[in-house]
Structure 1
Amino acid sequence: MQRVNPLRTLSTYNLSLLRQDLPAGLSVFLVALPLCLGIALASGAPLFSGLVAGVIGGIVIGFLSGSELSVSGPAAGLAVIVADAIAKIGSYEAFLVAVVLAGVMQFVLGIIKAGRFSSFFPDSVIKGMLVAIGIVIILKQIPHALGRDNDYEGEFEFQQLADGENTISEIYRAIETASPGAVVISLISLVFLIMWERIAGKSTRAFFRNFPAALVVVLIGVGLNEFFRVSVPEWYLGDTAHQHMVQIPTISPGKSLFSIFDFPDFSVLGNPKIYGIAATIALVASLETLLNLEASDRLDPAKRVSSTNKELIAQGVGNVLSGLIGGLPVTSVVVRTSANIYSGSKTRVSAISHGIMLLIAVFLGGPMLNLIPLSCLAAVLIMVGYKLAKPAIFQKTYRDGWSQFVPFMVTVIGIVFTDLLVGIALGTVVGIIYVLYTNFQSSLRIDRDGRKVLIEFEKDLYFLSKPQLKEALGNLQPGDEVVIDGTKAPFIDHDIFNMLHDYRETAKVQGIHYELRNVVLNRRKRIRNQGVKATT
C-alpha cells in the first residue's frame, strides 16, 4: 500500500486532476461554511473564529497533512470543551493560549510517533463510526431541511446545547413548526441530487461527473427563495437578517481588517488551569484526528495509507497558527472528509482549495453567500449521510459474524445516542472483549476417539482460558485415556499450570489415565536461560 508524501503529491501534481479536485473542494466549502459558523456558536466563541479555523484547516493542514483526502476544521466534538474552558479561564483571548499550547503538544506527539496508537481501534468500530456519523448527519439535518434552526449547525451530540432538546425531540418540534418554503427547497434539492447522481453514473458525458451537484443545489435554493419573495411571500425564508440563512459576519464600516481577529493573551501562562485545558484539547483533538484518518483510509478508493505521525505534526502546526490569530481548535473531521471523498476528490488540492474559498468568503463573498438557505445545504448533507450509512453496510457486517456485528452496532448506537468519543469507547471495549473471547476459545483443541482424549494447546494459555479448560476436564469419564499436549504453548499461565497438576489426584480417584506432555510453566524463559548458559 502506498504511503502518503505531501511534498511529492504537490511537486508532481497533474493539472488534469483539477477536474475532480476543484469541484470536490467547492462541495466541501459549501458544507463547511455553515458548520464553521455553527460550531463557533455552539462553542460560545466569536463567529469569525470558526471561519479562521476552517481556513487554517484547509490551507495549512491541507498542505502538511499525512492524508490525501482528510479535511480539517473546527470540530463539533470540541464545542463543549471549548465553551467550558472559556467560562473557566474568563476570556476567549486567554483560551487562545490553550489552543496554541495544545498545538505544541500535538506537534510533540507527532515527533515521538504517537500516531501508531490509531491501529488499536478494531475495524468493526471504525466501520460503526462511519455509519453512526451518517445517521447523525441525517437526523441532525432533518430539522434544518424543515426550516427549524434552533440547534447549531455542526453539533452532533444527542443532548443539544442550544435549546435543551435532543436529536429525536428536535425532529418532532421541526415537524410541528415546518416551514413550507424550506420543505419545498429541501425536497426539490434532494430529488435533484438523486437524479444527478443516477445520470452521472450512467452518462458518458464528463460534465455530470465533474460539475459539482452541490453548487447547482445552492443555486436552486437561492432561486426558489427569491421566487417565493416575489410570488409566495408567506413561503419566503428571508435574507441575512433571518436565522434560516447562511450568516457570514461582515466587517463594520470604518474598521480595519485586523479588527475581526482575536489574539491570545499570554499573560495567563502563569495560570495552571491553562495547561490542563491545553492537554485536554490536545488529547481529544488528536484522538478524533486519528479516528478520522482511519475512516478516510477506509473510504479512499485508491486505498492509500495515511501517515498518522505527519498528520499529528500538521494538526499541531495548524492549532498553533489558529490560536495565534483567533481561531478555534482544529481537528480532522468526518463530515467534511466524507463530503470530500464522495464528491470525487483525488488529492489534497481539494482540501486546500476549500480553505482558499473560505478565505475569499470571509473577505469578499459575505453578502452573496448570505442568500443561501440552510435547507438546500441540509439536502447536500443528508445525501452524504446516506452514503455513509447505506443499509447494505449493515447487511455485510451482519454476514461477517457476531464478533464484527455486535461491536459495530454498539458503536453506532453509542454515537447516535451519546456522542462520538463515548460511542467509540463503548464499541472498542466490546470489540476487545470479543477479540479476547474468540482468542481464548481457540487456544485449545479437544479431540475424543472413544475412550482416548487429546487436549492440545494451540497457543499460549492465559488465565482467561481457565473456564474452558476446567469444563473440558470436568467432562472426562472414568476409564478415559487423556493426554494434555502443551508442545505448541510456549507460555502457560501459573493458574493453568497448577490446575493441570492438581488434576492428577482427581484423575487417580476417578480411574482416568492422565498424562501431561510438554506442559511447561514458561518455555520461553527456559529457552532464553539456556541460551545465556550456552553463550557463557
Structure 2
Amino acid sequence: MIEQGTLELPKDGIAGLRQNWRIDLFAGLLVFMLTLPLCLSTAFASNFPVWSGIISALVAGSIVTFLSGSPLTIKGPTIGFAAVLAYGVQNLGSGYFITGYKYTLVAIIMAGSLQVLLGLLRIGNWRSIIPDSLVYGLMGGVGITILGRQLYFLLGATPDVSSESMLWMKLPNLLPTDFASPFWNFMGGWVDTYHDTAITINPNIAFIGITSLCLMFIFSSIKYPKILPSAVVVLLFGLMATFYFSLHTKDTAHLIVRTSYAQALFVFPDFSKFYILKTLEVTFIILAISTLETAVNVKTIDAVDLYRRRSKLNREVLAIGIGNMISGFLGGLPLIATMDESSKNVNNGAKTRWANFFQSLFLLVFVLLVFSVFKYIPKAALSAIVIYAVYRLNSPQLIKDLKQVGKEQLLIYIVTLIATVFLGVLWGVLIGIVITLVSYKLLGASFSSLFRIKVTTTQKKRKIRIFIENAALASNYPSLRKHLRDVPEGHYLIIDFSKSKVIDYGFMENIYFFAYSYSVQNGKIELNGLEQHKAVSAHPLATRKLIKRKAVDKSKKIHLVEKGILDERQLDVQGVAAINNARFKPNITFDGVKLQGFHFALGYEIKYSENTFAKFFGVTRIEFSDIFLSKGIRMSEQSHKMSVLLVYGVEAYIPDFTLGREHLLAKLIQSVGYGDIDFDDYPGFSEAYLLKGEKEEEIRALFSRELIDFLEKNQGFNIESRNNNILIYKEKALMNRVEMEDAVEFTENFLSIIYNANKQNSEVAI
C-alpha cells in the first residue's frame, strides 16, 4: 500500500513557479484553448460585448488566482450567468443595450462586494447544507431559459421579441408553413397572438449553426486524447465559413460584433440606478449563482487533486468577490470557479496556481495579436457552443446518476429546475431548499434533526467512536463537522450510524470527503451500522433508511439465500480468482487512497473498488480489482470503471516511472519536462512506448534487454511505478476474463524478469 504523505506538495509562490513552470505552462496553454471560446460564447449569450468575457478571464488569471483559496481551480465566466445578465441588459436598459449593460455592471460589482462580506464572515463553510442536486437544477434551469433565443441565432433568424417565453411560443414560425400549420391548428386560438408568418431563415447561417452543433457533439464524444477542444474546432470552422460564404462583406448582422459596443474596449458602470428593485434582483441572483456554483466545483476539484489539498472555501469566495468587483468596473462578466476548465487544468498535470496565470497570459497575447478576427465569428457558431453547454447542464447521464444516488435527489433537481425556468433563480433556490427539507421529512427525519445532529462520542486510547443518534442529513452536517475538527490526526475513527433513521446522499458525500482527507493524515475511518439500513440503490453513497428490527431479520434470511448469487461480471472475476487460488471479494470498499498517487488517476476521484482478489508471488502481493473513477455527478459522462492490478511488497528497488502507449498528445508532453526515454538499440520499443520519469539513469538500468524484449512481445499493457509499488492495466475500461488471465500472467512474468535481474546484479556486486 502506498505510504501516506509520501507525495511532496508543490511549493507555492515564486518557488512553485521555478519548480513547476513547464508543466504549469503546458496546462495553462491547453486550458486557454478551452477558455477562449467559452468566454466569447458566454458574453454573446449574455448580450454583453464579446470582449467582456476576455476581460473577466484576464482579471481572474492575473489577480484572483493569487488571492484564491483553491490552487487548481480556474476562475472565469460561465454560461450559467447568461440568462440573468441578458435579463439585466434588456430590462435595466429598457431596450437600450449599452445603457442596460452599464447598469448590469453595477449589479456585478454589488454582488462581488457581498461575496467579500460572506468570505470575511466565514459563511462559506455552511454551503454544505445545500445539496448539489439543487445547484444542478438551478444551473440547468438557467441554461434552459436562454435556450430559446440561441435556437434563433443557430438558424440564422433574428429574435424579434425580448420575452424568453414568447420566443419559445414563436419557435414554430421558424419551420416552413407546411410543417408549422398542423401545430398552430392543434393549438387553436390560445396561441393566435404568437402565430405569425414564417420567420426567414438564412440557409448559409443555418448550415453553419447546425454543422457547428454537430461538431460539438462529435468531437466532445471522442475519448482519445485530442489537441483542440471541441469549441475551438467550432470557432475555426465558423471563421472559415464566414469567408467562404462572404458574410463579412454582405451580411454582417450574423456576425458577433455589435456596432454600439465597438466604440471602446472598456465600458464603465453607471451607478445612477443601483438602488432600484431590478438592479437588486440581478445582484442577488449573480451572488447566488457565483457562490453556490463555486462551492460545488471547488469541492469536486479538491477530490481529484493528486496531492489531496483542501481548498479554503471562505477565502475562495472572498477572492472571487474581489474579482467580480474589479471585473465589473472594467466591463467584464462575473466570475466563478469553473468546472470544465478546472478539470482540464488538473487532467493536464497542473501543479500550482501559476497554471491559471499562464492561461490568462496566453489569452492576453492571443487577443493582442488577433483581436480583429473576433468580429468575423458567426453568431451561429457561438450559439452552437452555448446550446451544447445547456445540454451538458441537463444531460441524460446527469439525470440517470441523480436517480441512482437517490430519487429524492432527482426530485430536488427537477423541482428546482422547473421553478427556476418559470419563476426565476431566487424562487428556484428557495423552492429547492423547501423541497429538500420536505424530502428529508418524508424519508423519516424529525423536524428537530433538520439542522441539528445529536452525537455521542467515546474514546479508548487511540480509538474514537462517534454515534449519530437521529438523522444524518446534508443540512445538519455542519453540526457534526465541529466534532470532526476535534479528532486528532492518526487515530482510528468509527462513525456509528446504527441509530440513525436516515442517511442521505449529501451527508454520505461529505463524510466520504472527510474520510479521504483523514486517511491522508495517517488516520483510519470505519463506518458502522450501515448494514442496518436499506440503500435506495447500489451506489456506494446512496441514501439509506433504517430497517425495522423484524425487517432486518427477514433481510438476513434473504441475504443467506442469495449469498451465492453473483452477476455475470462477478462470476468472471471469481473464475479467474479460482484459477489463481485466490479468495474473491465482491463487496465495495472505500480504499481508493492507495491508488490516488498514480498518474492514471490524475483528474479523477477513486470512489470505490470492488470484485477484488489477491495472490502472492513470493512475498509480493498482486491485487486485482475493478475501480470506479469519478469526476462527480456534473462530469459523470467522463467517469468510468476500469480494471487494475496493484503490486506491493516488491523485493527490489523500482524507480518511479510511467510506461504507456505512444500517441500524438504524448509527443507534445515531451516538450514540457516529461521527455520520452528512448533506447537507440531498441527502436521498435521506443516507437511503441512512451517511457518517462525523473531518474533517467535508474530507469535505463531497470529496463534490461530481457525486459524490453518481453514488453515488445507483450504490448497493450500500461505500467506505473510509484513509491516502489507497481500498477498495471490495459485500457481505462474493465478487462474481460481472458484479459484478466493475461494480465495476471503478464504481471508475474514482469516480476520474474525484475527479480532475476536484481539477483544477477547482486551476485556481480559480490
Does the alignment reach a TM-score above 0.5? yes
Q: Do residues 30 (structure 1) and 37 (structure 2) align?
A: yes
Work out the CA distance in 1 between the residues paired with 2:14 and 2:138: 31
Work out the CA distance in 2 between the residues paired with 1:342 and 1:142: 28
- From 238, 257, 269, the counterpart of 1:247: 257
Q: 2:25 touches 2:358 (CA, 8 Å); kept in 1?
A: no
Q: 1:10 to 1:422 in 2, by over 3 A?
A: farther
Partner of 1:217: 234
Which residue identity is paired with 1:116?
N
Work out the CA distance in 1 between the residues paired with 2:344 and 2:429: 23
| Deviation of the 1:310 alpha carbon | 1.6
Which residue identity is paired with 2:168?
I
Work out the CA distance in 2 between the residues paired with 1:83 and 1:384: 22
Q: 2:88 touches 2:101 (CA, 8 Å); kept in 1?
A: no
Residues 177-256 of structure 1: pairs in structure 2 closer than 5 A = 177-198=200-221, 200-202=222-224, 208-229=225-246, 237-238=247-248, 242-247=252-257
| Deviation of the 1:292 alpha carbon | 0.9
Give the 3-state SS of the residue equivalent to 1:201 in structure 2: coil
Which residue identity is paired with 1:26?
M
Partner of 1:56: 59
Work out the CA distance in 1 between the residues paired with 2:314 and 2:39: 25
Q: 1:6 to 1:133 in 2, by over 3 A?
A: farther
C-alpha RMSD of matched pairs (Å): 4.6
Which residue identity is paired with 1:404?
Q
Partner of 2:322: 317
Q: 1:97 to 1:290 in 2, by over 3 A?
A: closer
Give the 3-state SS of the residue equivalent to 2:252 in structure 1: coil
Q: Do residues 169 (structure 1) and 169 (structure 2) align?
A: yes
Which residue identity is paired with 1:124?
S
Which residue identity is paired with 1:24?
V
TM-score by length of 1: 0.61
Give the 3-state SS of the residue equivalent to 1:148 in structure 2: coil
Which residue identity is paired with 1:117?
W
Partner of 2:387: 382
Q: 1:103 to 1:7 in 2, by over 3 A?
A: farther
Which residue identity is paired with 2:254?
H
Residues 315-464 of structure 1: pairs in structure 2 closer than 5 A = 315-325=320-330, 327-328=331-332, 330-332=334-336, 337-338=339-340, 341=343, 352=357, 355-356=360-361, 359=364, 365-440=370-445, 459=470
Aligned length: 409
Structure 2 unmatched runs, 5+: 176-198, 450-468, 472-498, 501-766
Work out the CA distance in 1 between the residues paired with 2:10 and 2:435: 32
Work out the CA distance in 1 between the residues paired with 2:277 and 2:144: 33
TM-score by length of 2: 0.45
Q: 1:443 touches 1:459 (CA, 8 Å); kept in 2?
A: no
Work out the CA distance in 1 between the residues paired with 2:426 and 2:15: 32
Work out the CA distance in 1 between the residues paired with 2:136 and 2:256: 32
Work out the CA distance in 1 between the residues paired with 2:10 and 2:120: 17
Work out the CA distance in 2 between the residues paired with 1:286 and 1:98: 9
Q: Do residues 302 (structure 1) and 312 (structure 2) align?
A: no
Q: 1:73 touches 1:332 (CA, 8 Å); kept in 2?
A: yes
Q: Deviations over 1:19-43 (max 9, x none)?
A: 44323322221121243255354xx
Give the 3-state SS of the residue equivalent to 1:211 in structure 2: coil
Q: 1:6 touches 1:65 (CA, 8 Å); kept in 2?
A: no
Give the 3-state SS of the residue equivalent to 1:178 in structure 2: coil
Give the 3-state SS of the residue equivalent to 2:445 in structure 1: helix
| Deviation of the 1:296 alpha carbon | 1.9
| Deviation of the 1:379 alpha carbon | 2.8
Give the 3-state SS of the residue equivalent to 1:187 in structure 2: helix
| Deviation of the 1:288 alpha carbon | 1.6
Partner of 1:513: none
Partner of 1:142: 151
Q: 1:47 touches 1:249 (CA, 8 Å); kept in 2?
A: no
Q: Deviations over 1:182-227 (max 9, x none)?
A: 23223333444444345x424xxxxx42333332322222223322
Q: Do residues 115 (structure 1) and 124 (structure 2) align?
A: yes
Which residue identity is paired with 1:177?
T
Q: Deviations over 1:419-457 (max 9, x none)?
A: 44432332221011111332437999xxxxxxxxxxxxx
Work out the CA distance in 1 between the residues paired with 2:407 and 2:319: 38
Q: 1:21 to 1:209 in 2, by over 3 A?
A: farther
Work out the CA distance in 2 between the residues paired with 1:9 and 1:40: 42
Q: 1:26 touches 1:215 (CA, 8 Å); kept in 2?
A: yes
Give the 3-state SS of the residue equivalent to 1:33 in structure 2: helix
| Deviation of the 1:370 alpha carbon | 1.1
Work out the CA distance in 2 between the residues paired with 1:371 and 1:191: 21
Partner of 2:288: 287
| Deviation of the 1:121 alpha carbon | 0.8
Which residue identity is paired with 2:293?
N
| Deviation of the 1:118 alpha carbon | 1.8
Work out the CA distance in 2 between the residues paired with 1:190 and 1:93: 32
Give the 3-state SS of the residue equivalent to 1:16 in structure 2: helix
Q: Do residues 106 (structure 1) and 107 (structure 2) align?
A: no
Q: 2:137 touches 2:413 (CA, 8 Å); kept in 1?
A: yes
- From 5, 16, 21, the counterpart of 2:28: 21
Partner of 1:66: 69
Q: 1:63 to 1:434 in 2, by over 3 A?
A: same
Q: 2:134 touches 2:413 (CA, 8 Å); kept in 1?
A: yes
Q: Deviations over 1:471-503 (max 9, x none)?
A: xxxxxxxxxxxxxxxxx89xxxxxxxxxxxxxx
Name whichever structure is richer in helix by fraction. Answer: 1
Which residue identity is paired with 1:66?
G
Give the 3-state SS of the residue equivalent to 1:370 in structure 2: helix
